[in-house]
Structure 1
Amino acid sequence: MWNGDGTVEVNGFRVFYSEVDIVRKIFERHPETATNIRPKNQLVKNAYMNNLLDLIDTICLAPQELTEEELRDAEKTLLELEEVGFELDWLKRKLKELCVKKKKLESRGARVRELDRMIVEQRQVLLALEAELKNEENEAVFDSARLGFDDVV
């Protein structure tokens, strides 16, 4: 239902017209999401829905785009929404997956840096060995040269 303030009512929440499809999808895929929500005040309900939409936007970001603080804030927001009656097990799983991906990405980054450091060290060792090999080859050429008459006499 269209309200005169640019919002549409979806499952008891007033959302901006641009968010209608997103909110409908949430309720289609997860009809239990707001069945137990306690606040009755429309402004409070709308604020919680905005928090939910912001949380979903955060979870949609790539792990490298998020700081640890943003992930902690997302977890706090999720808990607050659950405390007022939202059923968000589906979203909690996604947030946990995102946290795991973030940790894997960080440890992979550390491993990549370690491997890169090891490669640099090994290149230096290889360059030193190549220089030593060239020196040995030069000395071998010198040692294998025939002596001339003047060298002997």
Structure 2
Amino acid sequence: MWNGDGTVEVNGFRVFYSEVDCVRRIFERHPETALNVRPKNQMVKNAYMNNILDLIDIICLAPQELTEEELRDAESTLLDLEEVGFKLDWLKTKLEELCVKKKKMDERGARMRELDGMIVEQRQVLWALETQLKNEENEAVSDSARLGFEDVV
């Protein structure tokens, strides 16, 4: 239902027209989402729905685009929403998956930096060995050269 303020009512929540499809899809796939929501104040309900949409936007980001603090804030927001009656197990699962991916990605990045450092060190060792080998070859050539008459006399 269109409300003259640029919003549409979907399952008791007023959302902007641009969000209607998203909110409808939430309720189609997860009809239990707002069955036990306690707040009756429309503005409070709208704010909660905006929080859910913001969480979905966060979860849609790549792990490297998020900080640990942003993920903690998202987890806190999710808990707040559950406390007022939203059933968001589906969203919680996705957020947990994102946190695991972020942790793995951070660990993998640290391991990659460690390996890169080891490669640099080994290249330096190899370069030093190659230099020593060239010096030994030069000395071997010098030591194995025949002496000429002038060198002896």
TM over 0.5: yes
Q: TM-score range by the shorter chain?
A: over 0.9
TM-score by length of 2: 0.96
Establish whether residue 36 from structure 1 lines up as the match of residue 36 from structure 2: yes
Residue segments in structure 1 that go unaligned for 5+ positions in a row = none
What is the identity, as a one-letter code, of the residue corresponding to 2:149?
A: F
Percent sequence identity over aligned pairs: 86
- Residue segments in structure 2 that go unaligned for 5+ positions in a row: none
Aligned residue number for residue 95 of structure 2: 95
Kindly provide the amino acid, as one letter, of the partner of residue 79 in structure 1.
L
The letter of the residue matching 1:42 is: Q
In the alignment, the residues of structure 2 paired with residue 99 and residue 59 of structure 1 have an alpha-carbon distance, to the nearest angstrom, of: 9
Q: Secondary structure at the match of 2:5?
A: coil
CA RMSD for the aligned pairs? 1.0
Using the alignment, how far apart are the partners of 1:25 and 1:135 within structure 2? 73
In the other structure, the counterpart of 1:71 is 71
- What secondary structure sits across from 1:106 in the alignment? helix
Moved over 3 A (4+): none
Q: Secondary structure at the match of 2:2?
A: coil
Deviation, structure 1 residue 109: 1.2
Aligned length: 153
Determine if the alignment matches structure 1 residue 127 to structure 2 residue 127.
Answer: yes
Q: Which amino acid aligns with 2:78?
A: L
Structure 2 counterparts to residues 1-153 of structure 1, below 5 A: 1-153=1-153
Question: Partner letter of residue 54 of structure 1?
Answer: D
